Amino acid sequence: MEKVVRTTVWSAGPGCHGGCGVKLYVKNGKVTRVEGDENHPWNQGRLCVRALAMTQYMYHPDRITHPMKRAGKRGEGKWERISWDEAYATIEAKLRDIRAKHGAESVIFCQGTGRDMGGPITLLMYAYGSPNWVNYGLSGHCCYSPRQVAMHATQGDYCVADCAQFLEKRYDDPAWKVPKVIIVWAQGPTASDPDAFYGHWIIDCMKRGSKLIVVDPRTPWLATRAEIHLQIRPGTDGALALGMLNVIINEGLYDKEFVDKWCYGFDELKERVQQYPPEKVSQITWIPKQQIIEAARLYATSKPAAIHWGVPVDMNAEGAVVAQAINALWAITGNMDNPGGNVIARASHGVTSYPYTQDEMKKLYGEELFKKLTLKRISADRYPAFRNFRAWAQPDAVLEQVESGHPYPIKGAWMQSINALSCMGADPKRHFAALKKLDFIVIVDLFLTPTAQALGDIFLPAATFPEKESLRSWWAPLSVIVKAVEIPECKSDWEINLELARRLSTTDFPYKTVKELINARLAVAGKDYDELAKKGSWEMPPEGPSKPYYRYKRGLLRKDGKPGFNTPTGKVELWSKFWEQSGVDPLPYYEEAPESPVSTPVLWEEYPFIMSTGVRSPALFHSEHRQIPWLREIEPNPFVEINPEAAKKLGINNGDWVYVENQRGRVKAKAKVTPVVPPYMVMVGHGWWLPETDGKEPNFYSVWDVNVNTLIPMGTQGRCGYGGGSYKICLCRVYPMK
Averaged pLDDT, 548-571? 97
pLDDT of residue 224: 97
- Summarised one tens digit per residue, pLDDT across range 170-179 is 999 999 999 9
Q: Would you place residue 340 in the very low, low, confident or very high pLDDT band (cuts 50, 70, 90)?
A: very high
pLDDT of 570 reads 98
Q: Label each residue of 361-427 as H, E or C.
A: HHHHHCHHHHHHHHCCCCCCCCCHHHHCCCCECCHHHHHHHHHHCCCCCCCEEEEECCCCCCCCCCC
Mean pLDDT score of the chain: 96
Residue 724 is predicted with a pLDDT of 95
Least confident stretch, 191-205, 418-432, 545-559, 591-605: 191-205
Q: How far apart are CA 689 and CA 93, in angstroms?
A: 33
Mean per-residue pLDDT, 474-481: 95
Report whether pLDDT(574) > 90: yes
Beta bridge partners of 21: 8
Contact assessment for residue 598 and residue 592, using Cβ atoms and an 8 Å cutoff: yes
Query: Residues 224-236: pLDDT tens digits?
Result: 999 999 999 999 9
d(CA 449, CA 470): 25
Asked if the peptide bond before residue 312 counts as cis, ω within 30 degrees of 0, the response is no
Report the C-alpha gap between 574 and 329 in whole angstroms: 10
pLDDT in tens, 658-678: 999 999 999 999 999 999 999
Which pLDDT score is estimated for 476? 94
Spatial CB neighbours of 435, under 8 Å, sequence gap ≥ 6: 402, 413, 420, 441, 455
Q: Is 459 helix (H, G, I), strand (E, B) or coil?
A: strand
- Same CATH fold, 153-346+589-738 and 68-134+355-472+478-539? no
> What is the structure's pLDDT at 479?
96
Q: What is the pLDDT averaged over residues 429-442?
A: 98
Exposed/middle/buried for residue 591 (C-beta within 10 Å: 0-12, 13-18, 19+): middle
In whole angstroms, give the CA distance from residue 704 to residue 373: 36
Mean pLDDT, residues 618-628 taken together: 95
pLDDT value, residue 363: 84
Radius of gyration in angstroms for the set of CA atoms belonging to the chain, rounded to a whole number:
24
Position 195 pLDDT exceeds 90: no
**Rounded Cα–Cα distance for residues 557 and 546 (Å):** 9
| pLDDT (0 to 100) of residue 535 | 93
Q: Where are the domains of the chain?
A: 68-134+355-472+478-539, 153-346+589-738
Helix (H) or strand (E) holding 150: helix 145-155
pTM comes to 0.96
Per-residue pLDDT of 485-530, as tens digits, reads 999 999 999 999 999 999 999 888 889 999 999 999 999 999 999 9
> Nearest 5°: phi and psi at 384?
-55, -30
Name which CATH class applies to 153-346+589-738. Answer: alpha beta
Is residue 364 very low, low, confident or very high in pLDDT (cuts 50, 70, 90)? confident
Please write the tens of the pLDDT for every residue from 142-164.
999 999 999 999 999 999 999 99
- pLDDT tens-place string over residues 369-387: 788 888 899 999 999 999 9
**pLDDT score, position 11:** 87
Give pLDDT, residue 114: 66
Please tell me the predicted confidence (pLDDT) of residue 370. Answer: 81
Q: Of 170, 141, 129, 149, which is closest to residue 41 (Cα–Cα)?
A: 170
In this structure, which CATH number among 3.40.50.2300, 3.40.50.1970, 3.30.300.10, 3.40.50.740 belongs to the domain 68-134+355-472+478-539?
3.40.50.740
Q: What is the model's pLDDT at position 372? A: 82
Cβ 110 vs Cβ 456: under 8 Å: no
